[in-house]
Every structure is written in structure tokens, then in C-alpha cells.
Amino acid sequence: MFIEIISLSENFGLVQVCQVTMPVLTLGRYILEMALMEYRLNVEVSESLLAASALLLTFRLKDIEGWERTLEFYSGYSVEECRPTAKKLHKMLLRPRHEMRKTIRIKYEHQ
């Protein structure tokens, strides 16, 4: 998965540099897995941009600072390039719960 590549590349990636905890990374994975249910996100957006945008949204939701240049370095995308997709992901999370997504929510509930 691209989120793993971006966050763990070269054994000193985004996770170590930004001191991101496993629950924060898990939130990013959750957002990506929810995005699998969104046809437009999977057809119109590259996997790498989707992963970078999910990390951008995760860091913003968790008020983590100092990650912008590191995300750009490891993902190859600027914050500005990720912002529109991150907004779409955020809107996705705010929508009412759907029965098809129940399995995904249950999977991540305990984390």
C-alpha cells in the first residue's frame, strides 16, 4: 500500500521524522479503506495521491505539525496537490454511516 511506502520509506520515513504513533497511522489506513468504497476516488485519483492525501487529512485531524516538507519529500506531492483530495476524503468521513461500511468501522473500532 502506498501509505506504507510513504510513511515507512528508507527506514526513516514520515513516521519517525514526525513522531507519528501507530494509532495515527491506523487512522490513515482507515481513511484509505473507507475510500475503497468511493468509486470516484478510485477511478479519478492515483493510489499514491490518495495515500498522501489520507496522510495529510490524518495529520490535520490529529493536529500534528511539522510534516509538510517530509510528506512532500516521501510522497512526491505538494500539500497543495493533496488538498482537493483530502477535502473529498473529509467529506466522505462526514457523510452519514452506510451499512456497507459497517465492516470497515468494526475492523478499526478496537484500535
Q: Which amino acid is at 82?
A: C
The answer for residues whose C-beta is within 8 angstroms of residue 79's C-beta and 6 or more apart is 56, 68, 71, 72
pLDDT at position 12 is 40
Low-confidence ranges of the chain (pLDDT < 50): 1, 5-12, 17
Check residue 84 and give its pLDDT.
97
Q: What cell was used for 88?
A: 473529498
**Residues 44-76 pLDDT 10s:** 999 889 989 998 999 999 998 888 888 888 889
Query: What's 53's domain CATH number?
Result: 1.10.472
Domain housing 75? 2-109
CB 6 within 8 A of CB 55: yes
